[in-house]
Amino acid sequence: MQKRMDPEQHLDWSLVQTIHAVAEAGTLSAAARTLGLTQPTLGRQVKAAEARLGLTLFHRHARGLVPTDACLALLGPAEEMRAAALRFARTVEGQEGDPSGTVRITASVYVAHFILPEILAEIRRTLPEVQIELAPSDSTDNLLFREADIALRMYRPEQLEVVTRKVADLHIGLYAAESYIARRGLPEGAETFQSHDLIGYDRSDIIIRAMQAHGLQARRSDFAVRCDDQAAYWQLLRAGAGIGAGQCLVGNRDPGLRRVLPEIALQPLPVWLTAHASLRTVPRIRRVYDALTAQLQQLDRDPANR
């Protein structure tokens, strides 16, 4: 390798981004997609970074690039630089006075499918100058690194540098499709509930724990159909595959469904609206955040949400 870089020399930030992205992605092609570059360009940048630093950063293998020990030692400082650069960018954005532009919102797959569309359509009618990107995801997208500008969470986020506010509770009930009821009838009480076809989760134990909290001894094998994807789970319920749990706001509005055992009280889901603290001062994000807050707060007063 070439002589190592003098610590006083300037290191191009784009090369640090390259090192970080390739180490995370494991391949040039995946890192290139992340950075919006071509694979040959990224390959040249990796070689330039190695030459500039005087270090071998990656071992080349048929399946991709593996970070060397030297590279791994650099990832912590690279992450700090990335965070500092994003704070710098947010500070610049915070000075913008233009209310137009794009706002990226992330929410769970279920909420994105069944609750947000009407809300976002109304926001677009009142804020036509704002473009909205909706990212349905059950993973925890990182507001600090701009995977999203605003996030809807069913728990209170603990990240630093975020503004968060509880805006609603979504009540949960048990439902069955009319087609299922015509075939199997209604459970006469909690004691007969488990004799019915139940829809549960595959890997998640949330429903099992909820049933146990009500004195029902449940096992994974007690569920006739299992699915972790929230949207697919709901469609299985609507198709008559069995009795399942869902948000009252959606279930009570569906003419093909009927509430089952309403006397069983299930824990409601809190809705927290979250944005990065510095982005809260960007006009377009502030306006969408406030509009979402107003729309979601109305859900608490909606008779269907009971």
Q: In what order do the strands lie in the sheet with 244-247?
A: 244-247, 172-177, 257-260
* Cβ–Cβ under 8 Å, residues 133 and 285: no
pLDDT at 161: 77
Q: What's the pLDDT tens digit per position in 124-169? A: 999 999 999 999 988 776 665 567 889 999 988 877 678 899 999 9
How does DSSP assign 229-241, residue by residue? -HHHHHHHHHTTS
- Average pLDDT (196-221) is 86
- The C-alpha atoms of residue 45 and residue 6 are separated, in whole angstroms, by 19
Q: What's the pLDDT tens digit per position in 87-111? A: 676 566 555 556 678 899 999 999 9
159 vs 208, which has greater pLDDT? 208
- The C-alpha atoms of residue 76 and residue 162 are separated, in whole angstroms, by 22
- The C-alpha atoms of residue 19 and residue 7 are separated, in whole angstroms, by 18
Q: Which two tokens stand for residue 227?
A: 């699915």
In this prediction, residue 246 has a pLDDT band, given cuts at 50, 70 and 90, of very high
Residue 183 identity: R
Q: Which two tokens stand for residue 102?
A: 């794009």
Quote the distance between the C-alpha of residue 150 and its chain's center: 10
What are 102's strand-pairing partners? 131
